[in-house]
């Protein structure tokens, strides 16, 4: 089955700097790659996703890149703000009505 | 998107008792519901998949007799933790593909279970 690896497990950045989180996946059939932000005690919140027919997607300060050949995808947050502090999860699935497999998460701390 | 309502948000119970968690789809018919478990400071791990009108399929290592899943209607799926023990204390969260069939999942609010 699918295996998703996520790095780093913790990340501290100064406010205004960029943050990058990387994930790799094992199943070449996976074609849907979302990123979630989770605050303590809350459900995961979808912040951006990308599909295998696209190499990059951007939404304001957030961008995701996908390298299908290497089976890795990355989350980029620019101009970080303290409210970006949370745990971020990458995930992968083969799409349709199939479950997501999650990475282990990255705890991002943005220091003011 | 799809709206999934999950209750209770928090529950504390004594060891040996059973707890039922409900997930309701409010604006669509949820044919499929995925149940995840998240221990403190860990990731979301798939426990089981339920499909309306059929038996749930469980992931390896998840006891089907301990975690009873019922998906008797298109708007309600339940997870019952039977004979709960302290090691079952966790954050349980349901999710469904909704009607988009795009791979995106819609999550319930989650239920924090504490077993004393």
- Chain segment A8-44, per-residue pLDDT in tens: 999 999 999 999 999 999 999 999 999 999 999 999 9
> Any chain A CB within 8 A of the CB of B59?
no
Maximum CA extent, chain A: 41
Cα Rg of chain A (Å, integer): 13
Q: Where residue B101 falls among pLDDT bands split at 50, 70, 90?
A: confident
Q: What phi and psi values does residue A105 have, to the nearest 5 degrees?
A: 100, 155
Residues of B in contact with A102 (CB under 8 A): 43-45
Peptide bond into A8 cis (omega under 30): yes
Q: Which of B43, B101, B104 has its CB closest to that of A46?
A: B104
Average pLDDT, chain A: 96
Give pLDDT, residue B28. Answer: 85
Give the SS3 label for residue B88: helix
Could A97 and B31 be called an inter-chain contact, meaning their C-beta atoms sit closer than 8 Å? Answer: yes
Could A34 and B104 be called an inter-chain contact, meaning their C-beta atoms sit closer than 8 Å? Answer: yes
Q: What is the mean pLDDT of residues A81-91?
A: 98
B5 pLDDT higher than 80: yes
Give pLDDT, residue A60. Answer: 97
CA-based nearest distance A75→chain B, Å? 17
Distance between CA atoms of residues A90 and A46, nearest Å: 10
Give the SS3 label for residue A104: coil
Q: What phi and psi values does residue B43 have, to the nearest 5 degrees?
A: -90, 175
> Any chain A CB within 8 A of the CB of B102?
yes
Instruction: Determine the residue of chain B that is closest to A30 in CA distance.
Output: B103
* Residue located via tokens 């890149």: A65
Distance between CA atoms of residues A47 and B47, nearest Å: 24
Q: Which of B49, B102, B107 has its CB closest to that of A44?
A: B107
Q: How far is CA A81 from CA A45, A76, A85, A87, in A?
A: 17, 13, 8, 14
The 8-class DSSP code of residue A86 comes to E
């Amino acid at each position: 089955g699918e295996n998703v690896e996520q790095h780093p497990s913790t990340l501290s950045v100064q406010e205004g700097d960029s943050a990058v989180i990387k994930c790799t996946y094992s199943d070449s059939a996976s074609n849907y790659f979302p990123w979630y932000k989770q605050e303590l005690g809350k459900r995961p919140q979808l912040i951006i996703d990308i599909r295998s027919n696209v190499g990059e997607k951007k939404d304001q300060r957030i961008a995701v890149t996908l390298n299908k050949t290497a089976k890795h995808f990355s989350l980029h947050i620019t101009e970080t703000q303290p409210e970006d502090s949370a745990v971020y999860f990458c995930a992968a699935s083969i799409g349709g009505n199939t479950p997501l497999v999650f990475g282990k998460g990255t705890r991002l701390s943005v220091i003011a | 998107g799809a709206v999934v309502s999950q209750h209770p948000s928090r529950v504390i119970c004594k060891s040996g008792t059973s707890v039922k968690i409900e997930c309701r789809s409010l604006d669509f018919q949820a044919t499929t519901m995925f149940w995840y478990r998240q221990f403190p400071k860990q990731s979301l791990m798939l426990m089981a998949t339920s499909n309306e009108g059929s038996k749930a399929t469980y992931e390896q290592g998840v006891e089907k007799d301990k975690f009873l899943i019922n998906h008797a209607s298109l708007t309600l799926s339940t997870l019952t933790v039977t004979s709960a023990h302290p090691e079952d204390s966790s954050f349980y969260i349901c999710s469904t593909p909704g009607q988009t069939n795009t791979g995106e999942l819609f999550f319930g609010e989650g239920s924090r279970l504490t077993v004393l």
